[in-house]
Structure 1
């Protein structure tokens, strides 16, 4: 059925008993009004694409659209279709377009599975707490620079370093989106990052003594042993927590870390000190015969969370600083768990060991990474040279004093 559609005609068309019925306009081919049994009335356009597909596009519903404007819209769409456009195909593609939630899901399944457990865990937390709440339903192709910049600014108000990490993760995600052909550019590129100061925190001898005493009183002795082994080996937290008995040769005193667990992705073989061997031997004697992990967690996995125990140890040792939480003064650790690694390296450097030796023990792949401890190596050397200078320049020691001024004469 077709006739010259008007608002009056459209509004008086009878309702079908079931389903819907379309009445076509005799002025614009394919343009019509669809009436459903429930009383809904919508203007539609039937057309055929250049490839021969038959499509039905919904222009809009009554009374939001009047018949005249709907007919003109149909004419405009037909002009686009004549030159190859496919309005309904574009709508379908938009509906099926990947969202940021889809991107996060694929990123976690295909990319984070290649990362260390600790890295994957941190990235997932960042995505869950910051990326998804802000961008979850946004189409990947529609995300703009301003969206990423706005999120960075928002997080920066309370956590500037975390804001930088968020942008870094998003940049990687959108880089992969380009590779997967979900979009053609990276909206995270060019975001101005917050300034970051490299942190080099080492526990002083006094702090080390207090921490050691606090660990003996810590209720959770498994966590205490993790902290002890971190101090005795300088290993990364994830390496210690994921350590397996098969990696440790107590007889020869060697810990062989597989590449899958190290940051540099290469096997790292390090000697264990006598105290470390004593600690591990005691743990081995208490462990089950079929134990896999040195520090087992719940189920078949290794121990993961130790942040609360670290806080308790630091508070007991007085290694704390003040912070404002909800307008109240609270204390938090002034040292991170990772600072135990820095402390181990600083002890080595202060003992006068060479940077290559320190780097080998820490598993550094780049000499520049170890070079941060170079200034600590100067301390014992400076003390030695000052002692020598004091002897040489001392008076009344029965030796001939040699003047050290520039204008002195022999």
Structure 2
């Protein structure tokens, strides 16, 4: 049945007992109103493509769309169809367009295996907390990108998320999330999911380089705390960090086949280093001694020997978590900041927070080398740096040995332990 559809007629159309029923318009062929058993009314257009394929596209629901507007839209669609276009192709492409969640999944599947284990772990945590916002630790902040189409994400979406994380008090994390998203959208361009990167132009938060080194007294206290710590494996990992200056992930994932204990050499495979290159470093006598004792204990154990120096609990993989142990060690060694906080009721409480990170042990190792007068190239070689400017941050720590050297020259001018006479030069009048 065809009839010129009007709003009043649309309202009066009866609902079928089941399924849906379409009443067609007499003015525009194929244009009609579909009514479902639930009473929902939608405008549709039936059409045939040039290849003869029959299609049906939904224009919109009533009363969101008035009949006259829906009819005009149907006429425009028919003009496009006459030009050889297929409007449903665009609808289906949009329906199947990849979401940010899809982008996260492909990034995790194809790109994360190329990264170091610790870096991949950090990326997964940021994706879950801030981008997908899945799980108990989800940040639950706006905007939520997970369900957005990759090709619809805007600069404002990215900038808004960066600002939201910053307002939570995590400016550095906001920068890390921004860098992660930028990498993901660069890959989206390569995968032809969109043509540009919406992260470009987002202003990053200013960051200050962290220069935290443990003093001799702090080192002494930490060594004592390590000796008394209940978790011997955690203590040994931290000793290894102190003795080698290696990164935490390198030590935790270290395997026995990387070590030549006879010659005292640790060869780190390129897959485990930040620079993706093999890094061969000598081991000090204390490091060799500790590793030899661990190797002997592993061989003497009734359990099968793990390939890892520091195996995970249950013998699977390697040791992962150290946060709890490091916090306890900082508290014991006094590596903390204390702050008195007053609540709304005027009650005061003292908050104790560790002021040293595990990565600061790497800085401490480098500072000790610099203060001992070793050259920056040697320090860089031990740390595995490939760029001289990376090591240059420790140059100021060489002031002490340089001062000692110049004092030796100054000592030439002293006699019998007494200072030399200083003559002040007067300028010409």
Same fold (TM over 0.5): yes
CA–CA distance in structure 2, aligned partners of residues 35 and 326 of structure 1: 64
CA–CA distance in structure 1, aligned partners of residues 350 and 51 of structure 2: 70
CA deviations on 1:211-234 (whole Å, 9 max, x unpaired) are 000111111111111010100011
Q: Which residue does 1:392 correspond to in 2?
A: 412
Q: Which residue does 1:120 correspond to in 2?
A: 120
Does residue 231 in structure 1 map to residue 242 in structure 2?
yes
CA–CA distance in structure 2, aligned partners of residues 396 and 66 of structure 1: 107
Q: Which residue does 1:342 correspond to in 2?
A: 363
CA deviations on 1:364-399 (whole Å, 9 max, x unpaired) are 11111112212222211202322442x334366599
Residue 110 (structure 1) shift? 0.9
Q: Which residue does 1:333 correspond to in 2?
A: 354
Residue 27 (structure 1) shift? 1.3
User: Which of the numbers 265, 270, 285 marks the counterpart of 2:276?
Assistant: 265
User: What SS does the corresponding residue of 2:184 show, helix, strand or coil?
Assistant: helix
Q: Which residue does 1:111 correspond to in 2?
A: 111
Aligned length: 406
Does residue 312 in structure 1 map to residue 351 in structure 2?
no
Residue 67 (structure 1) shift? 3.2
Q: Which residue does 1:43 correspond to in 2?
A: 43
Q: Is the 8 A contact 1:392 1:402 kept in 2?
A: no
Residue 361 (structure 1) shift? 1.1
CA–CA distance in structure 1, aligned partners of residues 198 and 421 of structure 2: 69
Residue 331 (structure 1) shift? 1.7
Q: Which residue does 1:151 correspond to in 2?
A: 161
Residue 285 (structure 1) shift? 1.5
Does residue 362 in structure 1 map to residue 373 in structure 2?
no
Residue 42 (structure 1) shift? 2.4
User: What SS does the corresponding residue of 2:412 show, helix, strand or coil?
Assistant: helix
Unmatched tracts of structure 1, length 5 or more:
none
CA–CA distance in structure 1, aligned partners of residues 123 and 55 of structure 2: 43
TM-score if structure 2 supplies the norm length? Answer: 0.88
Does residue 194 in structure 1 map to residue 215 in structure 2?
no
Q: Which residue does 1:91 correspond to in 2?
A: 91
Does residue 75 in structure 1 map to residue 64 in structure 2?
no
Q: Structure 1 residues 10, 225: CA separation in 2 closer, same or farther (over 3 Å shift)?
A: same
Unmatched tracts of structure 2, length 5 or more:
134-143, 344-348
Residue 165 (structure 1) shift? 0.8
User: What SS does the corresponding residue of 2:42 show, helix, strand or coil?
Assistant: strand
TM-score if structure 1 supplies the norm length? Answer: 0.92
The CA RMSD measured in Å over matched residues stands at 2.4
Q: Structure 1 residues 217, 93: CA separation in 2 closer, same or farther (over 3 Å shift)?
A: same
Q: Which residue does 2:307 correspond to in 1?
A: 292
CA deviations on 1:1-60 (whole Å, 9 max, x unpaired) are 333334455455555554333332221011122233444432210123455443211123
Residue 87 (structure 1) shift? 3.0
Q: Structure 1 residues 334, 111: CA separation in 2 closer, same or farther (over 3 Å shift)?
A: same
Q: Structure 1 residues 18, 152: CA separation in 2 closer, same or farther (over 3 Å shift)?
A: closer
